[in-house]
Amino acid sequence: MLETPCQALSVQPVHLHALIAEARRCFPHECCGILVGRMQSQCTLEIVRVVPAKNVAASRPDERYEIDPRALLHVESELRNTTDEFVAGYFHSHPRGANAPSSIDLNDARGVFDFARRFFVYAIVSLQGDGGVRWWNLAPTLDRFVQVLSG
């Protein structure tokens, strides 16, 4: 089985709190947005910024999300002048579900998969209990997500 050889994730509590706060603010709809990161070392992706975006899902925004493409363009233009930061992933919430990816999430991730992007993470925020964030990578086989532990 082909697996990404070395991959670690560094997330500060301030960014975890921002993700949970955004999920609460958007409830009962799904929140969504962009994760900006940089390589802390050859194998460690550090999340440096959480950028909320409008959920422009045409229907059922309580069960779907679609990141406003204008937000993505804006972030990409901001990052054009930086050498070490890049769009490192997307986040969204499951207002009434667990923080595991759905079959829709798998299809969406396949749709934007790019082999050139070695590190691309999906953060899913659950509001169950005290709320929690889990991090996922699309497996190289594109048929499932693999959970990434953050430190």
Contacts of 80 (CB under 8 A, 6+ apart): none
**Residue in this structure with the two tokens 């986040």, named with its chain if needed:** 91
C-beta nearest to Zn ion: residue: 105
Shortest Cβ distance from residue 22 to Zn ion (Å)? 14
Burial bucket for residue 92 (CB in 10 Å: 0-12, 13-18, 19+): buried
Shortest Cβ distance from residue 32 to Zn ion (Å)? 9
Return the sign of the alpha-carbon dihedral for residues 62, 92, 78, 119.
negative
Query: Which of residues 10, 40, 44, 102 is near Zn ion by CB under 5 A?
Result: 102
Measure CA 101 to chain center: 11
How far is the C-alpha of 109 from the C-alpha of 94, rounded, in Å? Answer: 16
Task: Compute how many residues bind Zn ion; rule: CB under 5 A.
Answer: 2
When asked if residue 105 is in the footprint of Zn ion (CB under 5 A), the reply is yes
- Identify which of residues 48 and 121 has a Cβ nearer to Zn ion in the complex: 121
- Identify which of residues 26 and 48 has a Cβ nearer to Zn ion in the complex: 26
- Identify which of residues 38 and 54 has a Cβ nearer to Zn ion in the complex: 54
Q: Near Zn ion by CB under 5 A, which window of 16-24, 71-79, 101-109, 138-146? A: 101-109
Shortest Cβ distance from residue 94 to Zn ion (Å)? 5
Shortest Cβ distance from residue 27 to Zn ion (Å)? 14
Contacts of 103 (CB under 8 A, 6+ apart): none
Q: Which residues bind Zn ion (CB under 5 A)?
A: 102, 105
